[in-house]
Amino acid sequence: MEENNLNRERESESIDIKVLVEKFITRWRWFAVSVPLCLVIALLICQSRVPIYNVTGKVMISDSKKGELGTNVMMKELGLAAADMFVENEIVELQSKNLMREVVEELDLNVRYVREGFLRDRELYNDSPVKVLVDNPGEIRDTSFHVLLDTANLVILMNLDGEKMWSGHYSESVPMGDYNLSIEPNRKVTSKEKIRVDLSSFRKTTDVFSKNLNVQILVKNTNSVLVSLKDAVPARGIAVITPLSSGITRTVSITRGSCQRRRWSSSTSGWT
């Protein structure tokens, strides 16, 4: 009796497999089309996302006041390590928004240059054909516009709706309300180019970079700390970390996160 039941189960399983295989065979055209289509969609999604790089710097912090006897004795009486306290204080200083704002102002990080593309936009940073100078950068409010260039040194500014805002030549003053700006050449233009310029306030830009900055002790009970910054442009990440650790021994490395990807919106509203 049990053998008969087992035989029946085996027969039913074999029948089910045959039916399933027959269904696949009769619909092979759907599989032939859907598999390549899914691969193409996945490739387009990957190409449309902006990769985020993790720029890290190993920093050795030296305590110039390490020889002060009174401080070390006091720390020992309190049960605290003077070196640890000093390193923690330096970490707080490196993460301070005041220090980051100084870096933002020094490097003009509130001005971004973007070449728009079909699948994704590419931020140019130092590779931009132009550089925007602002006479009163503290008054900048979030705004974006296109800069059209040609080989005749003619410069045209247009808003995102395609309406002309201004036309002229390099180094001429462009009124923007509470401040004026000028478009300066950064390299020779060999053909017509269209660049999007995103201007943000110092405060907003500082908040964005501070959010992506991380400082932590590299090895316990040492003066080594690891400074890391997530950014879509590795060169800019290095430029930010370098002044943060100015005067301190450091090494900088770049790694690309394969899974950590974010996109910078065209309206400069921040990371999305």
Q: Cα(first)–Cα(last) distance of the chain, in Å?
A: 65
Instruction: List 133's β-bridge partners, or say none.
Output: 182
Distance CA 205, CA 261 (A): 19
Reading across the β-sheet that carries 51-60, which strands appear in turn?
Answer: 213-217, 224-231, 51-60, 249-261
250 Cβ neighbours under 8 A, 6+ residues apart: 57, 58, 59, 60, 227, 241, 242
Distance CA 161, CA 54 (A): 35
Side-chain-side CA neighbours of residue 148 (13 Å): 13
Report H helices in the chain.
Answer: 2-26, 28-48, 69-77, 82-94, 97-107, 202-211, 234-244
Distances in Å between the alpha carbon of 28 and those of 21, 41, 64, 111?
Answer: 10, 20, 74, 54
Tens-binned pLDDT, residue by residue, of the chain (272 aa) = 555 554 555 555 555 677 777 777 777 777 778 888 888 888 877 777 878 899 988 877 765 544 443 444 444 444 445 556 677 777 888 888 998 999 999 999 999 999 988 878 889 988 899 999 999 998 998 999 999 998 788 999 999 999 999 999 999 999 998 899 999 999 888 888 999 999 999 999 999 999 999 998 877 777 788 889 999 999 999 999 888 766 444 444 545 543 333 332 222 223 33
Answer for the pair 252, 264: CB distance below 8 angstroms, yes or no.
no
pLDDT of residue 35: 81
Burial class (CB in 10 A: 0-12, 13-18, 19+), 148: middle
pLDDT of residue 12: 53
| Secondary-structure percent of the chain, ordered helix, strand, coil, rounded to 5 | 40, 30, 30
